[in-house]
């Protein structure tokens, strides 16, 4: 029996096929694509080993020949959507390029709303992740700061993109999944917040709430956050 048990292993380090025995029926890409298809259609919770196997048309346990743990399936999924990133030719304007990268990541997340929920748990540097990092570094070539600072900029931007977009998606999905209407939910929330505000314990918070009129433009907030971070790394603004 194959030792599929505990072995210090990044799935990307394990060769895709081994040569001996029957030909594998699927590639990793097949499996990743099936999982992505399910996640897009039914959400991340729809991605079960049984469902993925059914989508592929094979027995549940056969999957474990390709993916030692479910966690590794997630890794495959993240790598798969990483291929959607357009690795454009750097323009020479590092700010514009990084904005474009961020905006594209955001778009990918809106296309695959399960990505933000998966990101924090993914650690193996998948091929497409490495390609993306390399691409970002290429975009940052004109920026005259140490390499370590560039890495920090990339990490900070990616983190903000994930956090902001993930929050928006989670809020949207929350209202969608509920058996009651969004208005109803909002009414209950507002009633609660109103009752809290009425206690007078949160004067500044109350002022902040009442001051702002109309709905928040999430995209604008997102853009401002990005710009601010770019400002903070821009030597020309110091």
Partner DNA sequence: GCGCACTACGTACGTTGTACGTAACTACGA
Partner DNA sequence: TCGTAGTTACGTACAACGTACGTAGTGCGC
Give the binding site for its own copies (CB under 8 A): 6-10, 12-13, 116-117, 120-121, 123-125, 127, 130-131, 133-134, 137-138, 141, 147-148, 150-152, 156, 159-160, 162-164, 166-167, 170-171, 174, 178-180, 184-185, 187-189, 191-193, 195-196, 201-205, 207-208, 211-212, 221, 224-225, 228-229, 231-233
Enter the DSSP assignment of 24: P
Residue 142, binding choice from DNA, its own copies, none, Cβ under 5 to 8 Å by partner class: none
Enter the DSSP assignment of 140: T
In angstroms, rounded to a whole number, what is the distance separating the alpha carbons of residues 71 and 226? Answer: 31
Own/partner pairs, 47-50, CB within 8 angstroms, 24+ separation: 47/73, 47/77, 47/114, 49/73
Out of 71, 141, 152, 217, the only residue in the binding site for DNA (CB under 7 A) is: 71
Smallest gap, in angstroms, from Cβ of residue 57 to its own copies? Answer: 31
Is 14 near DNA (CB under 7 A)?
no
Q: Residues 226, 165: contact at Cβ < 8 Å?
A: no
- Look up residue 43 and give its two tokens: 């959400």
Out of 2, 13, 41, 216, the only residue in the binding site for DNA (CB under 7 A) is: 2
Write the interaction track for DNA spanning residues 27-66; mark x where CB under 7 A is met and - where it is not: --------------------xxxxx------xxxxx-xxx
Smallest gap, in angstroms, from Cβ of residue 76 to its own copies? Answer: 15
Residue 9, binding choice from its own copies, DNA, none, Cβ under 5 to 8 Å by partner class: its own copies
What one-character-per-residue DSSP string does 146-199 give? -HHHHHHHHHHHHHHHHHHHHHHHHHHHHHHHSSS-HHHHHHHHHHHHHHHHHT
Burial (Cβ within 10 Å: 0-12, 13-18, ≥19) of residue 64: middle
Whose Cβ is closer to DNA: residue 20's or residue 176's?
A: 20
Sign of the CA dihedral 19, 25, 30, 32? negative
Which element (helix H / strand E) includes 110? helix 94-111
Smallest gap, in angstroms, from Cβ of residue 118 to DNA? Answer: 13
Residues that bind DNA (CB under 7 A): 1-2, 4-5, 17-26, 47-51, 58-62, 64-66, 69-71
């Amino acid at each position: 029996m194959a030792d599929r048990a505990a072995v210090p292993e990044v799935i990307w380090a394990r060769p895709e096929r081994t040569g001996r025995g029957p030909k594998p029926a699927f590639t990793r890409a097949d499996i990743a694509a099936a999982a992505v298809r399910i996640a897009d259609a039914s959400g991340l919770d729809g991605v079960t080993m049984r469902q993925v196997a059914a989508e592929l048309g094979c027995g549940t346990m056969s999957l474990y020949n390709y993916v030692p743990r479910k966690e590794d399936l997630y890794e495959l999924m993240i790598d798969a959507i990483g291929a959607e990133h357009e690795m454009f030719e750097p323009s020479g304007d590092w700010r514009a390029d990084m904005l474009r990268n961020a905006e594209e990541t955001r778009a990918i997340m809106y296309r695959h709303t399960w990505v933000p929920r998966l990101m924090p748990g993914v650690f193996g540097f998948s091929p497409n992740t490495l390609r993306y990092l390399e691409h970002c570094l290429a975009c940052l070539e004109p920026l005259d700061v140490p390499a370590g600072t560039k890495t920090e900029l990339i990490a900070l931007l990616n983190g903000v993109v994930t956090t902001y977009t993930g929050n928006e998606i989670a809020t949207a999905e929350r209202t969608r999944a509920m058996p009651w209407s969004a208005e109803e939910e909002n009414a209950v929330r507002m009633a609660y917040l109103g009752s809290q505000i009425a206690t007078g314990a949160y004067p500044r918070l109350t002022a902040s709430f009442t001051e702002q009129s109309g709905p928040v433009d999430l995209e604008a907030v997102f853009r401002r956050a990005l710009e601010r971070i770019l400002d903070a790394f821009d030597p020309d603004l110091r």
